[in-house]
Structure 1
Amino acid sequence: MTAFSMIRSGDAAHDMSRLRKLYGRYPTGVAAICALRDGQPVGIVATSFIPVSMEPALVSICVQHTSTTWPRLSREYGLGISVLAEGQAQLSRQLAAKNVDRFTGLAWFAGDSSAVFLAGAAAWLDCRISTSIAAGDHDVVLMEVIGAADDETVAPLIFHNSRFHSILAEIPPR
């Protein structure tokens, strides 16, 4: 058995960087959450997108309390979730950037609701916010899936150890 030093969250010596690294050991998909607000596309990236329930159809994301974009997105119910594809690492970085027009040069389309979807994604879900629960420094947001589609010819983008990966190979950092 490998020796290890347990991280204890209640200890004064709690090391946030070690905990962040530990959390990063769990590979996740990457999803863009986008909508039209005041006629303009608004979006964020979440690596915490998780399917929750089949009946009713529910998914969840976690959003930091410090997000300045989430209050704009969450003021109405219609949201589009685009599960990003393996070739969309740069798109993910662009949507996560601060103080820029996140949609410059991006191909996107709006659904019947105010949901916005990104072209070339692996899957798309048209959602509305069901419940939001405060959980530490994040909100856990449950969303009801109103409609969904996928492109089975495209592999999803994976985030693991603070880097983007495809299912078969790592995408080099920029």
Structure 2
Amino acid sequence: MARFPSGVVVVTTRCPDGSPRGFTASSFCSVSLAPPMILVCLANSADSAASFARCDHFAVSVLSPLHRPLAVRFATKGADKFEGGGLRLSPRGLPTVEQALSELDCVIHARHPAGDHMVLIGRVTGVRLGEGSPMVYYDRSFRTLS
């Protein structure tokens, strides 16, 4: 699967105590247009897996090449993902990536176990569009389109 190019997103939520959680994903896609739904996959071993197993809402930020350091930070197990800037709050109060190509507000529609991952399906409740070119993950590294 490393030979399948995909976009890169950061997905965030908040714990019941208000603390933010998030992860970088390349397993992200559109599921439905009516109603608008997306899916994203999260490893069961991820630091934030328990939070996403219980949350009601999450946000997805689609990344551009300028977000590479942030993508690495959110992909690093044990890292303090919310220190170091590059984030802002969505209208729902969830952290999102500044200057993202797009931001999606989602409410949980379903969760499905899938091997060593959890598939989150979200109903999109809000969209904000940015500008730029996408970052692509291919053959285990971040790349840009030429």
Same fold? TM cut 0.5:
yes
The structural deviation recorded for 1:116 is 1.9
Say whether residues 1:25 and 2:3 are aligned partners: yes
| Superposed CA offset, 1:58-101 (max 9, x none) | 00011112223121134221111001111111110011112221
Check the 8 A contact 2:46/2:77 in 1, yes or no: no
Work out the CA distance in 2 between the residues paired with 1:135 and 1:115. Answer: 26
SS at match of 2:66: coil
More strand by share: 2
Work out the CA distance in 1 between the residues paired with 2:133 and 2:63. Answer: 9
Q: Where do 5+ consecutive residues of structure 2 fail to align?
A: none
Q: What's the Cα RMSD here?
A: 1.4
| Superposed CA offset, 1:39-67 (max 9, x none) | 33221111101011100100001111222
Counterpart of 1:157 (choices 130, 135, 142) is: 135
State the structure with more CA Rg: 1
**Letter in structure 2 aligned against 1:157:** M
Work out the CA distance in 2 between the residues paired with 1:74 and 1:85. Answer: 27
Work out the CA distance in 2 between the residues paired with 1:90 and 1:68. Answer: 19
| Pairing 1:69-108 to 2, within 5 Å after superposition | 69-108=48-87
1:55 aligned partner: 34
TM-score under structure 2 length normalisation: 0.91
Give the number of equivalent residue pairs.
Answer: 145
Q: Percent identity?
A: 27
Check the 8 A contact 1:64/1:138 in 2, yes or no: yes
TM-score under structure 1 length normalisation: 0.78
Please list every run of at least 4 consecutive aligned residues from structure 1 whose deviation after the TM superposition is greater than 3 angstroms: none
SS at match of 2:71: helix
